[in-house]
Amino acid sequence: MFEALKPIPQDPILAMMLSYREDTNPNKIDLGIGVYKNDQGHTPIMQAVQWAESRLLERETTKSYTAPAGSPLFNELISKLVFGADHPALTDGRIVSAQTPGGCGALRMGAEFLRGCNSESRVWVSTPTWANHVPLLGGAGLEIVEYPYYDYDNKSIRFEAMLTALEGAKAGDFVLIHGCCHNPSGADLNREQWDAVADLIERKGLIPFIDMAYQGLGSGIDEDAYGVRMLAARMPEMLVATSCSKNFGLYRERTGTLFIVGENAEQTRNAGSQLFSKIRSHYSMPPSHGAAIVETILADEKLETLWLDELEGMRNRIQGLRQGLVAKIAASDIDADFSFIQQQFGMFSFLGITPEQVEALRTQHSIYMIDSSRMNVAGLNDQCMDYFVDALNEVLKGS
């Protein structure tokens, strides 16, 4: 039977990660996969995480099963982080959450849940969006429709076109929106735009599905959650997928959360029971170690403060790199405006160069980014900045 199988091309982001690892050039730069890197180009374990892990090692007494929803304490603390401790949807019992295997698990289980609610509803995703959104949501059987989002020429959001497209959605359709740090563009909705999108969603009876994988890496924990918190206060129903991969640096521990916001406490409980049953039939229950680390941090004031300080350091470093890169390019021979990079948020921006130029950066200079020219700004550092700008200059001149 297997002889009929054809190889499937690798996910472009993961393929890039492997090519980078195999490159022996000592000057190589990894601007591909979205992981945070420090000044030495290393993805460190956060100190708060290390402390929490050593505490866990001392205190953990069992490896027995948890539950499809994961750890109740994790769910409680992460809900407060995402929505804010006093959010009315939380205090009214309108939010149920499940610890999931990473943000991917949250997105997939959210899609499975939504398809179970209405198999006719479509999910609208931004153009462009994170490459894995389509297989994660489409794989659950949801029909995917696109709305325009990023204007490659003007390096900004095509906001009017986005609204016009969403006018074409029908009641009950789902709208996937990046909560902050849009992946791949770094172009985020401002508060007025969030409010206008909420007006449209409310008027048309759509259901928001927010993917917030980078809370705290854009403008701050509370600032980045503006859209999620505002929508949860206004909308009768919504879903939110979050991840601890980036803000806690727990990538390989696969720690995420899916939140369902319902119209009232009873409907929310029922929705939760549907979700937990889906989880049971997919992977039974999530892995526990990453969530145990997160709850240890969030339950301890000192550890939480340490973590927030470290996160602030990461955020400031990324913003500093954005400014530094724009300044270095402006001071170089490059005759093009890259100032948009310092107006964007989170790890990613499109450099706005052609796929051929991206390839030249890779083959001639060992600089790795996705073919779309999405670069992970956090992969830059003071040591490699000049090399990067010189290589960019060379490649731009060569074409």
Rule CB under 6 A: which residues touch ligand LMR? Answer: 13, 33-34, 130, 132, 183
- Closest approach, Cβ 87 to ligand LMR, in A, equals 26
DSSP-assigned letter for residue 340 = G
Task: Choose between 322 and 374: whose C-beta lies nearer to ligand LMR.
Answer: 374
The smaller minimum CB distance to ligand LMR, of residues 100 and 121, is found at 100
Whole-number Å distance between alpha carbons of 241 and 239: 7
For ligand LMR, the closer of residues 13 and 311 by Cβ is 13
Which residue in the list 28, 155, 246, 278 is annotated as catalytic? Answer: 246
* Residue 246 a catalytic site member: yes
Query: Does residue 211 have an active-site annotation?
Result: yes
Q: Which two tokens stand for residue 144?
A: 């995917």
Residues in contact with 343: Cβ distance below 8 Å, sequence separation at least 6, in sequence order: none
The DSSP-derived string for 374-393 is EEEGGG--HHHHHHHHHHHH
- The distance of closest approach from Cβ of residue 13 to ligand LMR in the complex, given in angstroms and rounded to an integer, is 4
* End-to-end C-alpha distance for the chain, whole angstroms: 48
**Minimum Å distance from CB 11 to ligand LMR?**
7
Q: What kind and span of H or E run contains 350?
A: strand 348-350
Angle ∠(195,197,203) on CA atoms, nearest 5 = 100
Cα dist. 157→182, 256, 322, 334 in Å? 11, 28, 19, 25
Q: Which is closer to ligand LMR, CB of 34 or CB of 218? A: 34
**Cβ-proximal residue to ligand LMR, closest one:** 34
Catalytic annotation present for 124: no
**For residue 125, what is the enclosing H or E element?**
strand 122-127
Kindly name the residue from 130, 194, 278, 328 that is annotated as catalytic. 130
Which DSSP string corresponds to 132-161? THHHHHHTTT-EEEEEE-EETTTTEE-HHH
CB of 33 to ligand LMR, least distance (A): 4
Measured from the CB atom, is 183 or 247 closer to ligand LMR? Answer: 183
Asked whether the bond before 236 is cis by omega within 30 degrees of 0, the reply is no
Q: How far is the CB of 130 from ligand LMR (least distance, A)?
A: 5
Residue from 30, 173, 188, 211 carrying the catalytic annotation:
211
Which positions are annotated as active-site residues?
A: 130, 211, 246
